[in-house]
A and B are shown apart, each in its own frame.
Chain A
Amino acid sequence: MYQALYGLIKKEFIQVFRDKNMLRLIFLLPIIQLLLFGYVVNFDVKNLDLDVYDFDHSSQSRELIQTTSANNYFKPNDEVIALKNLENNFKNSSSDMAIIIPNDFSEKLMNKDKPTISLITDGSNANSTSIGIGYMLQIMQLYTQNYYNIKPKGEIRFDVLYNPEAESVYFMVPGIVATLLTMITVMLTAMAIVREKEVGTLEQLLVTPIKGWVLLLGKIIPFALLGLLEIIIALTFGVLWFKVPFVGSSVLLFSLSGLYLITPLGIGLFFSNITSTQQQAMFFAWFFSVFAILTSGFFTPITNMPIWMQYITYLNPMRYFMEIVRAIMMKGAGLQDLTFQVVILTIYGISVFGLSALRFSKRIS
C-alpha cells in the first residue's frame, strides 16, 4: 500500500524533473513573479508631470510653483509653453496636469481677495488624477499657511504598525506566496490526471488492483510538495533579496498552507475529472486562477470593490489564505487571530476535496 504510494509519487517526480522546460518554469516562476511584483507594484502617485502656465510672473507665483514639487508630488515643467499646446501634451501623454496662474494672482493674494487658479487635468487616469487634485489642495493649504504664517491647532499622531516603511514589496511577497501556491497546485493537478487520460496511461493504471484513494493521494502529494517548495523558494528569495521581514511563526504558516492546499488540490482534481483534454483542463484552471487572484485582494483591497463584488470574494478560498499569509508574515498573528479563516478553509477543504474524491472512480465513463 505505502509502497504503491511511494512508487506513484516517485514516478510523478521523475516525470516533472525530466521535462527541462517544466523544471525551469517551476523554479523560475516564483522568482520572476517576485522580481516583477517587487519592483513594479507601486501605487504611489508621485512625480506627476505638471505643465505650468504662469501669467503672473511674480515672486508669489514662482514660490507657488516651487511648492508644487514638495514631497515629490509634482514635476513642474518650467519651460515656457504656448497655451495652445496644452491638450496635445495630454494626448501624447507627456503631461498629466496643467496649472494656469492668472495675472492677478499676487495682487489678489496681497489684498486677501481669494485668488483663483485653474487646474486642467488629463482625467483619463482617474485614480492618479484625483490623488493629484488632492495633492494640489494640500499644496495650496501649505502655501497659504506659510504665506500667512498660521499653524494648525490640532494634529493626529500616527502610529503605523507592521509596515511603517510603507514598502510595497513587504505587502506583495505574502500575496505572491498565496498566488503561487494556488496557481501551481490547481494547474498541475488539473493537468495531471487528464494528461494520463489523454495519453492513455490512466487506463493501464486503472486495470491494476491499486486502491482508488492511493491513486488520488499519489497524484496529489507530489503537487502539494511542489507547492510547498514554491513557497520556500519565494520566501527565501523574498527575505534574502528584498529583505522582507517575517514576523510570525513559520511553522504556523506552513501548517496552514498545508490546510489551504487541500482546497486548490481538490479543485484541480475536479477539473481533471470533468475534462477530457489537457487544453480544457488548463483553461478551467487558468480561469479559476484569474478569478481567485482578482477577487483575493492581491492587487487591490477588497473594500474598494462594489458591494456585490465583495460578497463574491467570500466564495474565493484564496481570499482567506491571503489574509492568513499576510497576517502571519506581517503582523505576527497567531492561530487565535485567524480562527475565522481557518474554520472556513477547513470547511472548504473537506467539502471540495471530498466531492472530488467521491467523483473519482476507478471506472471510466
Chain B
Amino acid sequence: MRKVKFIAIKEFYHILRDPKSLVIAIAMPIMMTFLYGYAITLDINNITVAVIDYDKTLESKELVDAVYESTYFSRPDTEPSEHDPEALLRSSQATAILYIRPGFSEALLNNRHFELGMTIDGSDNNLSAAVLNFSKAVLNLYLLDHLPNGIEIPKIEIAVQNLYNPDLTSSHFFVPGLVGIILMMISALLTSITIAREKETGTMEQLLTAPVSTRQILLGKIIPYIMLGLLDGFLVLAVAKILFDIPFVGSQLLLLAFGLIYIAAALALGILISAISKTQQVAMMLALTVTLLPPMMLSGFIFSIKNMPIPLQIFSNIIPAKFFITIIRGITLKGAGVEILAAQGLYLIILMAVLMFIASKKFSTRIA
C-alpha cells in the first residue's frame, strides 16, 4: 500500500508541476460545458422563411404578420428576387419560401377552398420537418381567427403537466448528460497520454525495474486521476448550476458513488488505450476517436437510442456513458433513488469491472 501511495504522490506532482496539464484538466471542462450547453439546443425557432405575397390584400398581409409573429419564423436578411426566389435557398439565406397566391383573400372570405405554396430547403431533414409542422400550425391558428360567421368547432382541451422540467428547458436535459461526456473525455485523454509519454521518454522502464507489481503501478497511476475526475465533475455541475440553473433534486451521495464508478471505468479505458499505443500521437488519436464520438452518439445524450437500428441499440450497451447519463439525469432531475436506478447501476459496475480487468491484463503484458 505504501508503494501505491508513493506512485500516486509522484503522479500528483507530475500533474501539478506541469501547469499546462492542470489548465487542461480544470479549464477544459468549464469551457466545454459552456460550449456544449449553449451550442447544442434542439429548441427550433427563428427559422428564416421568406414570404412572397402575390395577393397583396389586407387578409394576406395579416397572414404574413401571423407568420412572423410566431416565434418559429423570422425574416431573412435579403428579400427574395422576383425571377429566382430559390436562390435564397441555395445560398442558405432562407430555409423556406411561402407563396401566397392571387385570389387567397377572395377564397377565404367566400369560404372556398384555397391553397398556399411553400418551397422548403429539405437538406436538413430535421429542420424541414419542423417547418412543415410549424407552418401547418400557423395556418390552423390563422384559420381559427378567420372562421366564417356562425361556425363553431368544439375542441378537446388538454391539461398538460410537465414533471421535472415544467418550463421544458432543453439545457436541463443536456447539461447533466454533459457530466458523463466530459468526464469520459478528460479522464481517458489524460491517462492515455501520461502512460504513453512515460513509455516514449523511457521513465516507465525505470518504474518497472523497481520492486513494485504492475497492479500497484496501475493503482498508483489511477488514484490521482480519480480525484481529478471528481474535481472536474464538481466543476461541471457547478457551471451547470450557475449558468444553466439545472435543478438537483436527488441524493448527492448517490451521484458521488456512481460518479466514482464511472470515472474508474473511463480511466480503465484510457489505460487500455495507452497500453496498446506505441506513441503519444496514436494514443491521442485513439482516445479521441473512442471517447469523443461513441459517448456522444450512442449514449442517448442527444439521440434517442430507441430510434437507432437494432445492432446499434445492442452495441450501445457497452458504452458506460449510456448508463451513467441515465443515472445522472434520474438523480439530478427526477430525484430517483437507488431502488429505481439499481439495474443501471449494476450494469455500470459490471462494465467498469470488465474494463479494469482487460486494462490491467493489457497493461501488464504490454508494458512489462
Given a CB threshold of 8 Å, the question of whether A touches B is answered with: yes
A residues apposed to B, CB below 8 Å? 19, 21-22, 25, 29, 32-33, 36-37, 39-47, 87-88, 90-93, 109, 112-130, 133-134, 136-137, 140-141, 143-144, 148, 150, 152-164, 166-168, 170-171, 187, 191, 195, 278-280, 282-283, 286-287, 290-291, 294-295, 299-301, 303-306, 309, 323, 326-327, 330-333, 337-338, 340
| Pick from A168, A279, A303, A330: contact of B48, CB under 8 Å | A303
CB–CB B89/A331 < 8 A:
yes
Given A21-B286, A167-B125, are A130 and B308 also a contact pair (CB < 8 Å)? Answer: no
B residues apposed to A, CB below 8 Å? 20-21, 24, 28, 31-32, 35-36, 38-48, 86-87, 89-92, 95, 98, 107-108, 111-129, 132-133, 135-137, 139-140, 143, 153-166, 168-170, 172-173, 189, 193, 197, 277-282, 284-286, 288-289, 292-294, 297-298, 302-304, 306-309, 312, 326, 329-330, 333-336, 340-341, 343
A160 to B95, CA, bound (A): 10
List, in ascending order, chain B residues with CB within 8 A of A154's CB: 107-108, 113-116, 139, 143
- Shortest Cβ distance from B86 into chain A, in angstroms? 7
CB–CB B119/A155 < 8 A:
no
List, in ascending order, chain A residues with CB within 8 A of B38's CB: 305-306, 309
A282 to B287, CA, bound (A): 11
List, in ascending order, chain B residues with CB within 8 A of A295's CB: 35, 39
List, in ascending order, chain A residues with CB within 8 A of B91's CB: 327, 333, 337-338, 340
CB–CB A300/B120 < 8 A:
no
Nearest chain A residue, comparing its CB with the CB of B93 = A340
Given A154-B116, A171-B125, are A140 and B164 also a contact pair (CB < 8 Å)? Answer: no
Besides A124-B165, A304-B45, 7 other A-B contacts (C-beta < 8 A): A124-B333, A124-B334, A156-B136, A161-B120, A166-B128, A279-B197, A283-B189
| Pick from B124, B133, B193, B304: contact of A134, CB under 8 Å | B133
List, in ascending order, chain A residues with CB within 8 A of B123's CB: 162-163, 170-171, 326, 330-331
Given A116-B156, A153-B143, are A163 and B128 also a contact pair (CB < 8 Å)? Answer: yes
- Shortest Cβ distance from A295 into chain B, in angstroms? 6
- Shortest Cβ distance from B157 into chain A, in angstroms? 4
A123 to B334, CA, bound (A): 10
Q: A-B contact count, CB below 8 Å?
A: 310
Nearest chain B residue, comparing its CB with the CB of A112 = B154
Given A279-B197, A280-B20, A301-B44, are A136 and B90 also a contact pair (CB < 8 Å)? Answer: no
CB–CB A39/B312 < 8 A:
yes
Nearest chain A residue, comparing its CB with the CB of B156 = A140
Nearest chain B residue, comparing its CB with the CB of A134 = B133
A120 to B293, CA, bound (A): 34
What are 24 of the A-B contact pairs (CB < 8 Å)? A19-B279, A25-B282, A42-B303, A42-B304, A45-B304, A91-B334, A116-B156, A118-B159, A119-B158, A119-B159, A121-B163, A126-B168, A154-B113, A156-B116, A282-B284, A283-B24, A290-B32, A303-B46, A303-B95, A327-B90, A330-B123, A332-B90, A337-B87, A338-B91
| Pick from A91, A109, A299: contact of B302, CB under 8 Å | A299
CB–CB B156/A323 < 8 A:
no
CB–CB A127/B43 < 8 A:
yes
| Pick from A93, A126, A294: contact of B35, CB under 8 Å | A294
CB–CB A124/B173 < 8 A:
yes
- Shortest Cβ distance from B279 into chain A, in angstroms? 7
CB–CB A137/B158 < 8 A:
yes
Given A42-B307, A127-B173, A300-B42, are A25 and B122 also a contact pair (CB < 8 Å)? Answer: no
Given A157-B116, A279-B197, are A171 and B124 also a contact pair (CB < 8 Å)? Answer: yes
A303 to B39, CA, bound (A): 10
CB–CB B154/A304 < 8 A:
no
- Shortest Cβ distance from A176 into chain B, in angstroms? 11
| Pick from A43, A88, A129, A299: contact of B162, CB under 8 Å | A129
CB–CB A39/B308 < 8 A:
yes
A159 to B121, CA, bound (A): 9
| Pick from A114, A121, A294: contact of B155, CB under 8 Å | A114
- Shortest Cβ distance from A317 into chain B, in angstroms? 16
CB–CB B158/A337 < 8 A:
no
List, in ascending order, chain A residues with CB within 8 A of B298's CB: 36, 40
- Shortest Cβ distance from A360 into chain B, in angstroms? 21
CB–CB A153/B154 < 8 A:
no
List, in ascending order, chain B residues with CB within 8 A of A136's CB: 158
- Shortest Cβ distance from B148 into chain A, in angstroms? 8
CB–CB A109/B329 < 8 A:
no
A323 to B93, CA, bound (A): 10
A133 to B55, CA, bound (A): 34
Q: Which of B154, B281, B330 is the most central at the interface, judged by chain A CB atoms within 10 Å of its CB?
A: B281
List, in ascending order, chain B residues with CB within 8 A of A167's CB: 125
Given A91-B336, A161-B89, are A122 and B163 also a contact pair (CB < 8 Å)? Answer: yes
- Shortest Cβ distance from B174 into chain A, in angstroms? 9
CB–CB A279/B280 < 8 A:
yes
A305 to B165, CA, bound (A): 20
CB–CB A109/B115 < 8 A:
no
A250 to B278, CA, bound (A): 38
Nearest chain A residue, comparing its CB with the CB of B39 = A294
CB–CB B111/A161 < 8 A:
no
Nearest chain A residue, comparing its CB with the CB of B335 = A91
| Pick from A115, A129, A162: contact of B168, CB under 8 Å | A129
CB–CB A91/B340 < 8 A:
yes
List, in ascending order, chain B residues with CB within 8 A of A87's CB: 163
Nearest chain A residue, comparing its CB with the CB of B170 = A126
CB–CB B126/A155 < 8 A:
no
Nearest chain B residue, comparing its CB with the CB of A340 = B91
A44 to B108, CA, bound (A): 34
Given A25-B289, A93-B330, are A305 and B39 also a contact pair (CB < 8 Å)? Answer: yes
| Pick from A42, A152, A279, A340: contact of B193, CB under 8 Å | A279
CB–CB B165/A123 < 8 A:
yes
List, in ascending order, chain A residues with CB within 8 A of B87's CB: 337
A305 to B35, CA, bound (A): 11
| Pick from A90, A279, A304: contact of B41, CB under 8 Å | A304
- Shortest Cβ distance from B224 into chain A, in angstroms? 17
A242 to B28, CA, bound (A): 36
